[in-house]
Amino acid sequence: MKVNEIFYSLQGEGRHVGTPAVFVRFSGCNLKCSFCDTAHHVFTEMSVDDIMREVAKHPARHVVVTGGEPTLQLTAELVDRLHRAGKYVQIETNGTHPLPAGCRVDWVTCSPKDAPVVLQHIDELKVVFMSADQNMSLYDRFAASVYSLQPCDVGDRAANARILADAIAYCLAHPKWHLSLQTHKLINVR
């Protein structure tokens, strides 16, 4: 498997924000989002055994499988091995590919982009919010336990402040949505 990096930090986004977690970031993605903050071309080839050894170096029970797009490489074998090691497995995916056959993750965070979502089960729908005139009705068809609205970081302080204000206003007007800030950036951790 092509692994971009494995590191230990706090989950910075969504339902599990603040949870100590081991992040297994796969390289490669089928989409090209302008706001993406991952260098998808950088990777190390790792076996399931290699990944398990790296994950075992950290005390957290929570493992976040992310990317890139992790469904392009994730295997049921890796998830099963993580479960046998007592880990809680969360995946962060764009939802454009199904989970591999037999892959039973504990929490599915789906962040749809400009491509059809094919996932059958979503625990958390996390939408990157760009502006007040964003068509949020696109997400009405998704059933999830948690609906998170994440203001997009466009790298411009004034624009980010407008996006944040619009996201707050949207959540207040539509209370099924929870504001999800990228707290890892706010507290300066990975």
Please give the positions annotated as active site: 23, 29, 33, 36-38, 92, 184
Residue 70 burial by Cβ neighbours in a 10 Å radius (0-12, 13-18, 19+): buried
Distances (CA, A) of 13 to 16, 109, 185: 7, 10, 10
Helices 48-56 and 76-84 meet at what angle, rounded to 10?
30
Residue 27 burial by Cβ neighbours in a 10 Å radius (0-12, 13-18, 19+): buried
